[in-house]
Amino acid sequence: MMLITSSSELAAICARLAKHPFVTVDTEFLRETTFWPKLCVIQLASPDEAVAIDALAPDMDLAPFFDLMVDPGIVKVFHAARQDVEIIWHLSKRIPAPLFDSQVAAMVLGYGDSISYDQLVQRTNGTQLDKTSRFTDWSKRPLSEAQIIYAIADVTHLRDVYLKLTGELEKRGRSDWVAEEMRVLTSPETYRQEPERAWERFRTRVRKPRELAVLMEVAAWREREAQMRNVPRSRVLKDDSLIDIAMTGPKTVEALGAMRSIPKGWERSRDGISVVEAAVRGLALDPKTLPAIDKHRPPSQAQSATVELLKVLLKMVAEKHHVAAKVVATSDDLDRIAEDDEADIGALKGWRRELFGEKALALKHGKLALAIERGRVVTIENAMVASLTA
């Protein structure tokens, strides 16, 4: 068990780790009261050693760690990598690559949807992890021995998980499937939180250009404030209030104060006045310059029936090929396929199209049928479908 508490120690360990083909990585952080995650501990392991790094140690320079994360000759192995990568991106504006996410690989191999780390270790290694330190305060110093042991275990067992999963991927010819998913996780666009795009999280909640214009301005204001103050968005303005403001479009503090979702007196605070100013800016925007509003149309009876059949097909395909249904197609994907053969979705691209998308379109257009054979769903294709419907 080793805890790194100085920059020189970190530089030395990163130099040793850089000699290996892969390193396993994890982080411990806090985010409940901040906008940006507070990095507390970093765990690293090679096939030879494993360490925990005290990211809050005085004068700790994490540059050697960030350099290791972008070394093109070393695979960086995470489990459920998105939050860990987001932290590294925020602190260094660099993204670990090449990257391997064991949760994604496990989904591709049929271990289940979004399988947890401890469950994956249990299923691949037969080891039951002690998770009692999971929710401890990682910012408190000194770190306890139990915390350090727990933290390092998260990267030591990941070494065996990685070797097991990569072996299975190679054997089943699915390494390219995971590589395709890694392109999303290693794209800076995945982690940028630009205030001007904050409205997109609520794009389905507005129906009129006027509402969209106000939403864009107020959401951008809230995002800037939350980032600047380093507090959760809800500490600045709650989501429900944001939507109410977008729909109401208050032009005065009196109009803002009349809204039920606004706390009494808040409208005359600095934030309240800023929100009104943002709403007024939104109302002044030219509707012709606004993004297109997603027109939600209730599905037709035929589309609803198609979606139900697609759900059955997806379950059948996932079980047949031992892959998690969630990684093949989402519920939204099925809705989009029912509506549009050319939908710009993952289920109609790459390996997903080959595995499921082509069958989904064939089913939609009557070129493929579903049947029950010995208690299991099977597909009936082309000529047989034609003979059955003749």
Which of 225, 259, 284 delimits the end of a domain?
284
How far does CA 38 lie from the centroid of its chain?
19
Give the per-residue pLDDT at 134: 82
Which of 190, 210, 226 delimits the end of a domain?
190
Q: Do 243 and 313 share a domain, yes or no?
A: no
Check if the beta carbon of residue 56 is closer than 8 Å to that of residue 64.
Answer: no
The C-alpha R_g of the chain, in whole angstroms, comes to 25
Res. 373 pLDDT band, cuts 50 70 90: confident
Give a yes or no: residue 295 inside a domain: no
Q: Do 271 and 203 share a domain, yes or no?
A: yes
Give the per-residue pLDDT at 388: 47
C-alpha to C-alpha distance for 154 and 1, rounded to whole angstroms = 13
Supply the CATH number for residue 121's domain: 3.30.420.10
Residue 387 has pLDDT above 60, yes or no: no
Tens of pLDDT, residue by residue over 194-233, are: 999 999 999 889 999 999 999 999 999 999 999 999 999 9
Give a yes or no: residue 83 inside a domain: yes
Give a yes or no: residue 290 inside a domain: no
Record the tokens describing residue 271, joined without a space.
């934030």
* Percent of the chain clearing pLDDT 70 (strictly above): 96
Q: Do 238 and 342 share a domain, yes or no?
A: no
| Alpha helices per DSSP H over the chain | 7-17, 63-69, 82-92, 102-108, 117-125, 145-172, 175-185, 209-229, 233-236, 239-248, 253-257, 270-283, 301-321, 325-328, 331-339, 350-352, 358-364, 382-389
Give a yes or no: residue 351 inside a domain: yes
Res. 384 pLDDT band, cuts 50 70 90: low
Supply the CATH number for residue 274's domain: 1.10.150.80
Q: Do 201 and 140 share a domain, yes or no?
A: no
Give the per-residue pLDDT at 389: 47
Supply the CATH number for residue 305's domain: 1.10.150
Q: Do 276 and 312 share a domain, yes or no?
A: no
pTM for the whole structure = 0.89
Average pLDDT, the chain: 94
**What is the extent of the structural domain holding 358?**
301-381
Res. 45 pLDDT band, cuts 50 70 90: very high
Give the per-residue pLDDT at 299: 67
Tens of pLDDT, residue by residue over 2-32, are: 899 999 999 999 999 999 999 999 999 999 9
Q: Do 141 and 214 share a domain, yes or no?
A: no
Give a yes or no: residue 201 inside a domain: yes
Q: Can you say whether residue 15 is alpha, beta or left, with left for phi > 0 and alpha for psi between -120 and 50 degrees?
A: alpha
Q: Do 116 and 258 share a domain, yes or no?
A: no
- Write the CA distances from 70 to 46, 169, 184, 211, integer angstroms: 16, 24, 16, 43
Q: Do 279 and 366 share a domain, yes or no?
A: no
Q: Do 248 and 319 share a domain, yes or no?
A: no
Check if the beta carbon of residue 4 is closer than 8 Å to that of residue 43.
Answer: no
Tens of pLDDT, residue by residue over 246-305, are: 999 999 999 999 999 999 999 999 999 999 999 999 999 999 999 988 665 666 777 899
Q: Do 177 and 71 share a domain, yes or no?
A: yes
